[in-house]
Amino acid sequence: MIRIDGDQLTRELEALAGFSDAPAPAVTRVVFSETDAKARAWFKAQCAAAGLAVREDAVGNTFARYAGSDSSLPAVATGSHIDAIPHAGRYDGTVGVLGGLEAIRAIQRAGIRPRRSIELIQFTSEEPTRFGIGCLGSRLMCGSRDAKSGTSLKDKEDRTLDEVRAAAGFAGSLETVRLARGHYAAFLELHIEQGPLLERAGIPLGLVTAIAAPATMRVTIEGEGGHAGAVLMPDRRDAFLAAAEIALAVEAAAKGTGAIDSVGTCGLCDIFPGAVNSIPSRVRMDLDIRDIDEARREKMLEQIARASDEIAARRKVKITRETLNADPPCTCDTRALAALRGAAQKHDLKFQEMVSRAYHDSLFMSRIAPTAMVFIPCRGGVSHRPDEYASPEAIAQGALVLAEALAELAA
C-alpha cells in the first residue's frame, strides 16, 4: 500500500516557508535572491536524503530522479515551483514540489521499483516577479522562449537574466534547457486550486481537464497634459480618461462572450506625470485576457482593439498596442487524467473535473509531454496572500492520488 507521511510533509512545508524575506506568515522568495538560493539548497538536501539523483540546468530548473528499472524509457515527471511573489502564502507551488517529493518517497516505502524513472522538477521562476514573465523555466524547457531571453529579459535593476543567473551560479547556454517533445512519458502537477469551487462543493479533489492561457497586451495612450485648473473640459485630451474607457472595454469584451471561462483584467496602469493638479499626458496599461478557447480569446482581443481605435479618434489621443505574449491554452491528456481518476477512485475520494483559469508550468509542459493536473481545496479560494491555506488532510490526499498515478504511469 502506498501511504503518505502527512506529518513529515507538513513539517517540510513549514520549513520551506521559513526561507522568506518577509516576516511570517507572509512568504517572499524571489527567484535568484539569496533567500531563493538557501531554499534551493535545503530542497536539494531533502531530495538527496531520499536517495534521488539531483541535477540542475542552465536556468536553475532542478531535477531529482528516482531511477526505474529501464533507463531507456522516457521518465514520468511531476513538480511545480518554490519561488513566491512578495507577501504571498506558503502553499502555492510548494505543495506540488514537496507533495511530489513525498509521493516518490511513498512509492519507495511501498517497495515499488517502477519500470520508468520518476523525476521531480522544481521549475525556475514560475512567478513573473523578477523578469515580468511567468513560467520562465518551463517556457525555456519547451522552447517557447529561446537563448535571446538571456539578454532581453531584465529585472527592475536593469540586470539581464544572464547576469542574474550567472551570479546565482547557473552557467551555460539557455539553449541547453530545451527538452525534446516526448522527453517525458507524462507530466502531472499537484497544486492548490487558488479558487473557491472545491471548498464550496465540499469535494476534496479537482481533476483539471484544460488550462486557460493568457494573452498580455500593453497599451500606451498619449494625450496632452496641462494645468488641472486652467485647461477647460472641452479642450482636454486626457490620456487617463481614455485608459479608463479601455479598461471598461476589456470588461465588456470578457462579459460579452457569454462564457464563464472568458476573463479580462487591467492590472497595471501607470499615469504620467502623476500629479493631482496635472492632466495625465501619458498612460501605460497592461491587459491580461484569458480563456480556455483560443479563438474566443482572440475575438476578445480584436474587440478591445476596435474599441481602443474608436476611443482614440473620439478623444483625440494616440493609442498604440503591443502584444507581449499570447500562449495557446492546454487540453489535458486523457491517459494522464485516467491515471489520476483511477487513483482517486481507488481511495474512494470524490473529485470533480474542472478547468484551471490560472496558468501553471503544466501549460508549457503540455507541449512536450502528456500532461494533467490535480487540484486540492484552499480555504476561501485565497492565494497569493499570507492567509493562503490548505489543510494537512487535503495536501496528504492530493499527494496520495499523485503517488498512485505516478506509480501507474511509471509501471
Whether the per-residue pLDDT at 223 is higher than 90: the answer is yes
Look up residue 149 and give its three cell numbers: 531571453
- The answer to whether the beta carbons of residues 231 and 341 sit under 8 Å apart is no
Domains along the chain? Answer: 6-212+329-410 (3.40.630.10), 214-326 (3.30.70.360)
Calculate helix-pair angle for 94-109, 34-49, nearest 10 degrees: 10
- pLDDT per residue as tens digits for the range 283-337: 999 999 999 999 999 999 999 999 999 999 999 999 999 998 899 999 999 999 9
Please state, in angstroms and rounded to a whole number, the distance separating the CA atoms of residues 150 and 3: 42
pLDDT category at 213 given cuts 50, 70, 90 is confident
pLDDT for 286: 93
pLDDT for 324: 85
- pLDDT per residue as tens digits for the range 66-110: 999 999 999 999 999 999 999 999 999 999 999 999 999 999 999
Whole-model pTM over 0.75: yes
User: Strand 184-192 to strand 371-376: parallel, antiparallel, or no bridges (unpaired)?
Assistant: parallel
pLDDT for 371: 98
- pLDDT per residue as tens digits for the range 224-239: 999 999 999 999 999 9
Residue whose grid cell is 485565497: 382
Tally of CB atoms within 10 A around 291: 26
